[in-house]
């Protein structure tokens, strides 16, 4: 029996109401703009279910990847794409496949200050060039650099760290010569602005950014990966989220306001979580990040545009966000109930995902496509 899934299709080649007729093995037919049918009814040998949004997969554009279990766990939450932002030993690189997982291996980190656990410390530009060539030789997808420290959760201030603008500019040039783009961990308006002026492709985190700098991102086509949940540490509306220091709450509030400003200004916002950092779980963090964006007033459609289209673009995954790529269907159903966003992995390359948890009912694909 075929299954008809209908809802709002959001992909790089569809945007609007439609239906996917899925046969065994994930072979599918796409109908755009078909009229709505009654949910859960079996007609003419087809089982029809209605979902709010149907997407080819969510993509987490900022994780720190170490094991294949983390890739599997992400899939259980509908997160089929991952962009590894680096670890000290570069363990994420062996999991990179260029189509759903990409990796910077190890970040380039200044001799002093934040970031030693994320990559390799470089002493000067010559040392930096040596590491760049070594990383390129290993097959990294992009270069990750440390452009500032982190936001202190108690004081709300940015701790010391990061390369100065001139050094960042050199890294961007040297990386470009090797055919690589650069992404910068940057917090605090000055550091973010320096990174943008240096020519980075994306700003990671970007806490405490001014609206002028946001406009610079828009003008120069720089991606922004805001990682709200990574700093908040708990979902919006929970006691922990409301109980942070006043300074922390102010930083978060600025980030949420900036999200709305960024979308209005046309900044390409991608969704990332810092999964792999303490307390930030793979897959689930994407949903909690989405909850935060929702609390900032963004629509589910705007959020999915970031989490599916922009994140995959930033990773350089050419076919990830398409329903028309010729492969068996990959599909995730995303919906919102009582202010919480959930995602169900339906199919991954035509096959069911999982089992994800022992106590969980079988995946939608398994229940319906047999
Ligand atoms: Zn990170």
- Using the predicted structure, report yes or no on whether residue 370 has a pLDDT greater than 50: no
Q: Starting at the edge strand that comes first in sequence, how are the strands of the sheet with 107-110 ordered?
A: 119-122, 107-110, 143-146, 182-186, 202-205, 223-225, 268-269
Give residue 43's pLDDT: 63
Beta bridge pairs of residue 123: none
- Residues 87 and 198: their CA atoms lie apart, in Å, by 23
> Distance from the CA of 186 to the center of ligand 1, in angstroms?
10
Mean pLDDT over all residues of the chain? 91
Q: What is the pLDDT of residue 24?
A: 81
Per-residue pLDDT, averaged over 187-200, amounts to 98
C-beta of residue 84 within 8 angstroms of C-beta of residue 101: yes
More confident residue, 143 or 41: 143
CA of 51 to the centre of ligand 1 (A): 32
Mean pLDDT of 56-78: 97
- How far, in Å, is the centroid of ligand 1 from the Cα of 25? 37
Q: Is the pLDDT reported for residue 364 higher than 60?
A: no
Which of the four pLDDT bands, split at 50, 70 and 90, describes residue 96? very high
What's residue 266's pLDDT?
96
Higher pLDDT among residues 7 and 264, named by residue: 264
pLDDT tens digits for range 104-115: 999 999 999 999
Report the Cα 198 to chain-centroid distance in Å: 23
Buried b (16+ CB within 10 A) or exposed e, 241-276: beebeeebeebbeebbebbebbbeeebbbbbbbbbb
Contacts of 31 (CB under 8 A, 6+ apart): 18, 19, 20, 21
| pLDDT at residue 369, as a whole number | 44
pLDDT category at 356 given cuts 50, 70, 90 is confident
62 — pLDDT class (breaks 50, 70, 90)? very high
Domains within the chain, CATH numbers bracketed: 2-56+325-368 (2.30.40), 58-315 (3.20.20.140)
Q: What is the 3-state secondary structure (H, E, C) of 101-144?
A: EEECCCEEEECCCCCHHHEEEECCHHHHHHHHHHHHHHCCCCEE
pLDDT in tens, 212-271: 999 999 999 999 999 999 999 888 888 777 777 899 999 999 999 999 999 999 999 999
Q: How confident is the model at residue 21 (pLDDT cuts 50, 70, 90)?
A: confident
- How close is the Cα of 369 to the center of ligand 1, in Å? 38
**Rounded to an integer, what distance in angstroms lies between the CA atom of residue 308 and that of residue 304?**
6
Residue 286 Cα, ligand 1 centroid: separation in angstroms? 14
What is the reported pLDDT for 98? 87
- How much of the chain, in percent, has pLDDT values that exceed 70? 92
Ligand 1 centre to CA of 277 (Å) is 7
Say what the pTM is: 0.93
Q: How far is the CA of 230 from the centre of ligand 1 (A)?
A: 9
Q: How far is the CA of 30 from the centre of ligand 1 (A)?
A: 37
Q: Which is higher by pLDDT, 136 or 43?
A: 136
What distance in angstroms lies between residue 146's CA and the mean position of ligand 1's atoms?
10
Task: Compute the distance from residue 298 Cα to the ligand 1 centre, in Å.
Answer: 23
The DSSP code for 180 is -
Asked whether residue 359 carries a pLDDT value surpassing 80, the answer given is: no
Write the CB contacts of 352 (distance below 8 Å, at least 6 apart in sequence): 346, 362, 363, 364, 365, 366, 369
Give the mean pLDDT of 6-18: 89
């Amino acid at each position: 029996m075929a299954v008809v899934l209908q809802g709002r299709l959001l992909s790089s080649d569809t945007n609007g109401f439609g239906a996917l007729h899925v046969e065994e093995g994930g072979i599918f037919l796409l109908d755009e703009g078909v009229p709505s049918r009654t949910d859960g009814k079996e007609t003419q040998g087809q089982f029809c279910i209605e979902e709010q949004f149907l997407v080819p997969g969510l993509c987490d554009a900022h994780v720190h990847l170490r094991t294949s279990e983390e890739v599997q766990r992400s899939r259980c939450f509908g997160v089929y794409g991952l962009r590894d932002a680096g670890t000290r030993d570069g363990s994420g690189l062996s999991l990179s496949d260029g189509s759903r997982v990409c990796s910077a291996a190890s970040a380039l980190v200044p001799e002093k200050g934040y970031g030693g656990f994320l990559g390799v410390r470089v002493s000067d530009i010559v040392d930096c060039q040596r590491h760049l060539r070594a990383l390129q030789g290993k097959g990294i997808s992009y270069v990750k650099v440390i452009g500032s420290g982190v936001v202190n959760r108690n004081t709300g201030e940015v701790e010391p760290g990061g390369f100065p603008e001139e050094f960042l500019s050199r890294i961007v040039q040297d990386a470009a010569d090797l055919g690589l783009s650069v992404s910068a961990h940057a917090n605090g308006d000055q550091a973010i602005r320096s990174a943008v002026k240096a020519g980075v492709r994306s700003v990671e985190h970007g806490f405490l950014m001014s609206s002028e700098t946001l406009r610079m991102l828009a003008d120069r086509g720089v991606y922004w990966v805001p990682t709200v949940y990574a700093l908040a540490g708990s979902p919006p509306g929970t006691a922990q989220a409301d109980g942070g220091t006043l300074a922390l709450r102010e930083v978060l509030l600025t980030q949420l306001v900036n999200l709305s400003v960024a979308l209005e200004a046309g900044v390409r916002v991608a969704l990332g979580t810092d999964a792999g950092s303490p307390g930030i779980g793979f897959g689930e963090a994407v949903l909690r990040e989405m909850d935060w964006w929702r609390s900032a007033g963004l629509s589910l459609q705007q959020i999915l545009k970031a989490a599916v289209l922009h994140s995959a673009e930033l990773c350089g995954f050419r076919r990830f966000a398409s329903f028309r790529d010729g492969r068996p269907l990959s599909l995730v159903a995303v919906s919102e109930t009582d202010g919480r966003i959930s995602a169900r992995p339906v199919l991954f390359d035509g096959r069911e995902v999982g089992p994800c948890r022992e106590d969980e009912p079988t995946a939608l694909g398994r229940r319906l496509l047999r």
